[in-house]
Amino acid sequence: MTVADKPTHFIRAKIADQIKQGQITEIVTRFPPEPNGYLHIGHAKSICLNFGLAAEFGGRCNLRFDDTNPEKESQEYIDAITTDVQWLGFQWDQICHTADYFEQLFEWALCLIRQGDAYVDEQSADMMRANRGTLTEPGVDSPYRDRTPEENEALFLKMRAGEFEDGACVLRAKISMSAPNMNLRDPALYRIKHVSHPRAGDQWCIYPTYDFAHGQSDAIEGITHSLCTLEFEDHRPLYEWLLKKLPVPCRPKQTEFSRLELEATVTSKRKLNTLVSEGHVEGWDDPRMPTIAGMRRRGYSPEGIQLFCERIGVTRKPNTIELQTLEGAIRDDLEGRAHKAMAVLDPVDVIVTNWEDDALELDVPWHPKRPELGTRVLPFGRHVLIDRSDFELDPPDGFHRLVPGGAVRLKYGFIVDFEDVDLDADGRVQTIYVRYDPTTRSGQDQSGRKVKGTIHWVHAETAKTATVRLYDRLFTVSDPGRHEDLAACLNPESLKTQSARIEPALDVLMPDAYFQFERVGFFKQDPDSTEGQMVYNRAVGLRDTWAKKST
């Protein structure tokens, strides 16, 4: 897609306008995750927005780790985030860490102190909370609020020197304790944490807060558009207050958009963490997780996720996207990308009674519309397996698969006519007997015969056995985010593991390929796979209007 045919949204429109008006010549954005967890689908929206916009307008986008709280952050998350952003298909201009700005931020804190715009408060956290007031009542000034700049500077230096315990005091902006916006009631700028930092090591025992770090970091990097979610809107006056008070190189502008809410999905880091730590899923990359790592393992493609992010738009409205919107985007992308092959998940024996020869090796394309994907060998013979659901003794109206007295095409093979069926004592189909029509070989059919259906199959002798993992939504409720007891709304059927018979070509490691099991769904080889013992994850099923009608 080019800029012209992408659906527009208010941020894209605004940038286009600014460029047109000559107000800016280049845009610089940043994606600023805190490395305290894995990236999820909500972050994907932000990544696509920030990197996408920069690419579209010929600008730059930085990946910035907003690492101001060493208590929660770790190198594991930094590495995972780096991997995920690249996998999603984006390349940053610079990789940055707020920690690398700590010295400059400290200098700026000193500036504020000398200007009389910040003070060291020795009230306890509880006291500060009590004195902050409420939503409807103003707060009370701290008894330490009127210290002189000299006194504050001396204290702040002592904070840095490690002369105070954690929590003994904090640097606060001196704004107003009666501001209706709670964020302006003398917000904390620096706090004491005798904790070593994943990047800065033991250099610091005081760390800036988000509010004191974010805008100035944006300014240091020359960010033109600081995009963030709506919950930061109330912080914007503070963001601007700091940039105005400080001798920063430029004044970035913050623009907010609404965060992504996905049906039947949780995206709070706390809740995702609970799922992992309580063992409800197998890890951050469990294919049922809405994490980028999880979606990657499940078999979603980066382009499919990008397509989804483009389709959902960017606004300031609260929104909850239906799961089918995500699945639709993934299918739309995978349809053109996947290698298409045959696998039978619930096999039943079929004997082709008039086939006397050895196996016939059919040469069939991986994708009928994409010859460049090449071909593979598909064996056919006397004994094949078809899916149990593709035969009905007593078919409902409109059923066009194999039935007694009927005929069906074995895809890429021949048309076969029903001959007989063996049932076991319970009336369950045991073996189906058919005759193949030699004049109907795919690609050289001279019979002119038409049959109602074409089904998939594998050759019994050469087929391999694989494990398939069939995933379904993790939660039974559409709004798990609103339920405190997550365990109570877990879907017990979110993962079904079973074996399947696969054609030989599917028994080869192709870790980067996406597959479609014809008539079944899109699959990806799990990293647990080994040749001879493949594991296929179902990313998403095919659209199935027949199943829909019959229910």
The yes or no reply on residue 140 touching RNA (CB under 7 A) is no
Q: Is 269 a catalytic residue?
A: yes
DSSP string, 206-244: EEE-HHHHHHHHHHHTT-SEEEEEGGGGGGHHHHHHHHH
Q: Are 308 and 330 in contact (CB under 8 A)?
A: yes
Residues in 245-264 at the binding interface with RNA, rule: CB under 7 A:
258
In sequence order, the 6+-apart residues with CB closer than 8 A to the CB of 213 are 66, 68, 98, 101, 105
Q: Which of 106, 144, 399, 433 binds RNA (CB under 7 A)?
A: 399
34 is a catalytic site residue: yes
Catalytic residue among 160, 193, 269, 311: 269
Question: Residue 409 Cβ, how far from RNA at the closest point, in Å?
Answer: 5
**From residue 436 to residue 475, what is the string marking binding to RNA with x (rule CB under 7 A)?**
----xxxx-x-------xxxx-------------------
Residues 251, 259, 435, 473: which is the catalytic one?
Answer: 259
3-state secondary structure of 453: coil
Distances (CA, A) of 491 to 477, 494, 543: 9, 5, 22
CA gap 211, 190 in Å, rounded: 10
Binding RNA (rule: CB under 7 A), the pick from 158, 160, 383, 411 is: 411
For RNA, the closer CB: 230 or 509: 230
Is the Cβ of residue 221 or residue 286 nearer to RNA in the bound state? 221
Residue 120, token pair as written in the block: 């060291």
Residue closer to RNA (CB basis): 141 or 282: 141
Q: Determine, following the binding rule CB under 7 A, whether residue 542 of this chain makes contact with RNA.
A: yes
Out of 235, 297, 337, 339, the residue judged to bind RNA by CB under 7 A: 235
Can you tell me which of 63, 155, 170, 276 binds RNA, judged by CB under 7 A? 170
Q: Which is nearer to RNA, 40 or 401 (CB)?
A: 401
Q: Work out how close the CB of 237 gets to RNA at its nearest, in angstroms, rounded to a whole number.
A: 8
Q: Minimum Å distance from CB 256 to RNA?
A: 8
64 belongs to the binding site for RNA (CB under 7 A) = no
Told to check if 6 binds RNA by CB under 7 A, we report no
Contact 334/304 with Cβ under 8 angstroms? yes
CB of 527 to RNA, least distance (A): 26
Residue 515 Cβ vs RNA, minimum distance, rounded to whole Å: 11
Greatest Cα pair distance in the chain: 101
Q: Which residue, 367 or 469, has its beta carbon nearer to RNA?
A: 367
* 396-402 long-range Cβ contacts below 8 angstroms, 24+ apart: 396/550, 398/546, 398/549, 400/452, 400/453, 401/452, 401/453, 401/455, 402/432, 402/434, 402/453, 402/455
How far is it, in rounded angstroms, from Cα 91 to Cα 113?
39
Is residue 210 at the binding interface for RNA, with CB under 7 A as the rule? yes
Between residue 295 and residue 334, which ones bind RNA under the rule CB under 7 A?
311-322, 324-325, 328, 331-332
d(CA 225, CA 227): 6
244 is catalytic: no
132-137 LR contacts (CB < 8 Å, sep 24+): 132/177, 132/182, 132/185, 133/177, 133/178, 133/185, 135/182
CA 483 to chain centre: 21
Among 75, 115, 181, 375, binds RNA (CB under 7 A): 181
Residue 524 binding RNA, by CB under 7 A: no
Rounded-to-integer distance, Cα 121 and Cα 173, Å: 10
Q: Does the protein bind RNA through residue 182 (CB under 7 A)? A: yes
Total number of residues that touch RNA (CB under 7 A): 93
Which residues are tagged catalytic? Answer: 34, 259, 269
